[in-house]
Structure 1
């Protein structure tokens, strides 16, 4: 298991990401926490990717399907990691936003 954290996004589609988070939170399963009397919603989603060839993965991408086409919501570059056929990567995306 590897943990990567970044605030340096090479692609960030803010309007589509906001729409994605609004839709995801409408399901009502994301916890709300309070910090210093301010409420925040914690939104955590997992995306899996399987590999059928050897290679290097140089970035992590959060995708949504819009009109049956993949739409990049966010991507951040990192040093990369090697994969071999049969590997499956799970990316866990965590967003924290204030509750209005």
Structure 2
């Protein structure tokens, strides 16, 4: 489980860096965002399946397509929401419940 969490965090940090880097390129950056926004949304929905992934993918698309919002670390915030604030388990994690008799 730790490795999946770590992989998602590292992948998310890399996507956030790429999304922020487009802001640093004058004149060309906004046009790169037009191509980056759908790709980022697709990656978000693949990284976090289900309803929360779909909602996050819409939000990351809007964040990337709007000018001057590239500084928001959407992927990192989603990771924090999933693994720190909500403390949800992933689908492949096995939960064993024990009954006290």
Same fold (TM over 0.5): no
TM-score for the superposition, normalised by structure 2: 0.29
Q: Which structure has the bigger radius of gyration? A: 2
Higher strand proportion? 1
Greater RCO (Cα-Cα under 8 Å, separation 6 or more): 1
Higher helix proportion? 2
TM-score for the superposition, normalised by structure 1: 0.30
